[in-house]
Amino acid sequence: MSGAAPEKLWEPSAELVERSRLREYMRWLEAERGLRLDTYDELWRWSVDDLEAFWSSIWDFFGVQADGGYERVLGNREMPGAEWFAGASLNYAEHVFAGKEDDAEVAILHASELRELGELSWGELRAQVAATATGLRSLGVERGDRVVAYMPNVPEAIVAFLATASIGAVWSSCSPDFGPASVIDRFAQIEPKVLFAVDGYRYGGKDFDRRETLTQLQEAMPSLVRTVVLPYLDPEPDLAGLRDAMPWEELLAAGEGAELTFERVPFDHPLWVLYSSGTTGLPKAIVQSQGGILLEHLKKLNLHVDAHLGDRLFWFTTTGWMMWNFLVSGLLTRAAIVLYDGNPGHPDMGVLWDLAEHAGVTMFGTSASYIAACMKAGVEPGAGRDLSRLGAVGSTGSPLSPEGFDWIYEHLGADTWLFSTSGGTDLCTAFVGGVALLPVYRGELQGRALGAAVEAWDEDGNSVTDEVGELVVTEPMPSMPVFFWGDDEGQNRYRASYFEHYLGIWRHGDWIEITSRGTAVIYGRSDSTINRSGIRMGTSEIYRAVLGVDEIVDALVVDLPRPGTDGWMPLFVVLREGVELDDELRKEIARRVRSQCSPRHVPDEVFPITEVPRTLSGKILEVPVKRILMGTPPEKAASRDSLANPAALDWFVEFAATLGAR
């Protein structure tokens, strides 16, 4: 809980404040709306108190182009079911290319374990998207049809997405490291017409052929009329074993020289389908709209990420994580985006920092776990590299520890803007995070995003400040799902996922503290919270204490209920090579947790493991492990194909069998 303010690590200069897109927007509000808002807190409060005025200002400030304007900003305000900008027809991809000259700044920079750093100009991007869209139409793809991609984070994936969006078709993607069952669980739900894919990929210096997987996907999805294969691993792959397959270049050739056109669709028309992790059942197929994502990402990438002409935005991601979709929306700004496909630790932990130097990255986006891994590995980002263009670092995926904040400022300099963010696939945005007008406090997120009515609620539904509560969103946002695909019974699955705990209020499933200064602290998932003697604590706080021990490189903790007791809290740790878990190390772990968390949260027992099970997007499998240890059959507790390292679950399955004797 917050008491005195933590150390202030950064404050924007007067020059940075004045040139920020947020200040530009505030000046526009005063000139065009007669609305003088002097502080970010005043701006945020207006943005959530008067949703219609705020979102209409975003529409006008960014010059959204639409047929027929709109009848009203917000019709039905209920969640789920809020109706945004009824009557308007627009196209997301049209706004990506709006005002971009063919010979202007670079659009995309890209590199991978298979490709050297390369560039794609706006002219090249436009021509390829036009050709691909024409090729898709020749295959019979129309508005509302689904186009899916089993592709890595390469520019061709973005070309295919923008072509799909320009037609008014619906996009969905998975990374090629997903196993076939996991891909089928996702794509088969939406019955795609065309599959974009690669023949294989390279990760960590090893090659992985995916042609057999493509055969399995084709067999499981009879709706497919064509599979378009990008030769990525092999310049001339043998595609004879695939049904109705064609090379990428053949599709482009079908539309060579075509003009790029845009099918304007209703505001709530589906843009893409994202998926929940699928660790405990069939992934939820989350549908977000062309208009909702357009407005949210215009706001977020411009005003909160503060992207400018000449900037180069990088976020380490795969096509299977919402941050890929978010990064692609960097093209809605005047900046270029930077892609990387490969293992961030190969050949060493410096590979992404090398990319930052060579690509001239100005904003380096990553995960808290990557920063923690750099800390553990003793990485020196600035040693021997020119990172003078790098002015901002973004972190998401899990809470960034205060020590992670320290590391960034120690190694990248006191003038670095570090913004830790929190949001989710469910809205494809961060609703707490970076604000270029505000200072950075150690261990805290700077503020709540514009238009995001985020609060911390106690169990009775009361908003609390300087206390940990459930993260809720009390007013609708345009990028909230329009529906779940296949949720035919009155959106019952959608409603049950977010709106039943607090009726009609979005409950996100995280613990959050909103401080009296307007900053925020995320404490991890509320469904994996450790509750000891009535004192609840997010797992992130325990990990912070445990991972402060040099001998430990990763950890997982769960709290298992046992009748008549506070429960049993085992801690599972991955040890540095050559280290043994002896009594001294156990005592040091207990000391750290006791002093940094509370005596009640000292683990009951500590067990060494070889690796922590994680999802493909890097999240720790706390809840599935807890269920396995409570007796749930492993096949019901977690879908192995949704895991980055499914074999890591085997230890817990074997361990669960021994618990009856404990």
Q: Give pLDDT tens digits for 124-175.
A: 999 999 999 999 999 999 999 999 999 999 999 999 999 999 999 999 999 9
| Residues 391 and 419: beta-carbon distance below 8 Å | no
Asked whether the predicted pLDDT for residue 106 surpasses 70, the reply is yes
The pLDDT value recorded for residue 169 is 98
Q: Give pLDDT tens digits for 252-302.
A: 998 999 999 999 999 999 999 999 866 556 788 999 999 999 999 999 999
Q: Which two tokens stand for residue 433?
A: 């995070």
| Residues 232 and 199: beta-carbon distance below 8 Å | yes
Cα–Cα distance measured from residue 525 to residue 529, given in angstroms and rounded to the nearest whole number: 7
Residue 80: asked if its preceding bond is cis (omega within 30°), the reply is yes
Residue type present at position 333: T
662 pLDDT band (50/70/90 cuts)?
Answer: low
The pLDDT value recorded for residue 490 is 63
116 pLDDT band (50/70/90 cuts)?
Answer: very high
Residue type present at position 190: I
Average pLDDT over residues 545-551: 92
**C-beta neighbour count of 173 within 10 angstroms:** 28
Q: Which residues have a Cβ under 8 Å from the Cβ of 256 and sit 6 or more positions away?
A: 131
Separation of CA 180 from chain center: 22
Q: Which two tokens stand for residue 27?
A: 């000046």
Best CA proximity match to 572, nearest among 541, 617, 527, 608: 608
Q: Give pLDDT tens digits for 403-431.
A: 999 999 999 999 999 999 999 899 999 99
The pLDDT value recorded for residue 524 is 75
The pLDDT value recorded for residue 491 is 76
Average pLDDT over residues 515-542: 78
Half-sphere exposure of 646 (CA within 13 A, CB side): 15
Asked whether the predicted pLDDT for residue 504 surpasses 70, the reply is yes
The pLDDT value recorded for residue 376 is 87
Q: Which two tokens stand for residue 249?
A: 């270049």
Average pLDDT over residues 298-320: 97
The pLDDT value recorded for residue 617 is 75
Asked whether the predicted pLDDT for residue 536 surpasses 80, the reply is no
Q: Which helix (H) or strand (E) holds 248?
A: helix 248-254
Q: Give pLDDT tens digits for 476-492.
A: 999 999 999 998 766 78
Best CA proximity match to 486, nearest among 286, 292, 208: 286
**Average pLDDT of the chain to the nearest whole number:** 93
The structural domains of the chain, ordered by start, are: 106-263 (3.40.50.980), 524-661 (3.30.300.30)
pTM of the model: 0.87
Q: In what order do the strands lie in the sheet with 552-557?
A: 552-557, 570-575, 605-609
The pLDDT value recorded for residue 360 is 98
**Residue that wins the pLDDT comparison between 205 and 561:** 205
| Residues 219 and 187: beta-carbon distance below 8 Å | no
Cα–Cα distance measured from residue 506 to residue 474, given in angstroms and rounded to the nearest whole number: 6
The pLDDT value recorded for residue 566 is 67
- List Cα–Cα distances, 613 to 6, 381, 514, in angstroms: 33, 28, 31
**Residue that wins the pLDDT comparison between 182 and 165:** 165
The pLDDT value recorded for residue 595 is 80
Residue 347: asked if its preceding bond is cis (omega within 30°), the reply is yes
Q: Which two tokens stand for residue 515?
A: 């401080």
| SS3 (DSSP) at 584 | helix
Percent of the chain with pLDDT over 90: 77
Q: Give pLDDT tens digits for 551-595.
A: 999 999 998 877 666 678 999 999 999 999 999 999 999 999 888
Q: What per-residue string of b and e applies to 616-634 under the rule 16 or more CB within 10 Å gives b?
A: bbebbbbbbbbbbbeeeeb
Half-sphere exposure of 202 (CA within 13 A, CB side): 14
Asked whether the predicted pLDDT for residue 546 surpasses 90, the reply is yes
Phi, psi of 622 (to 5 degrees): -65, -50
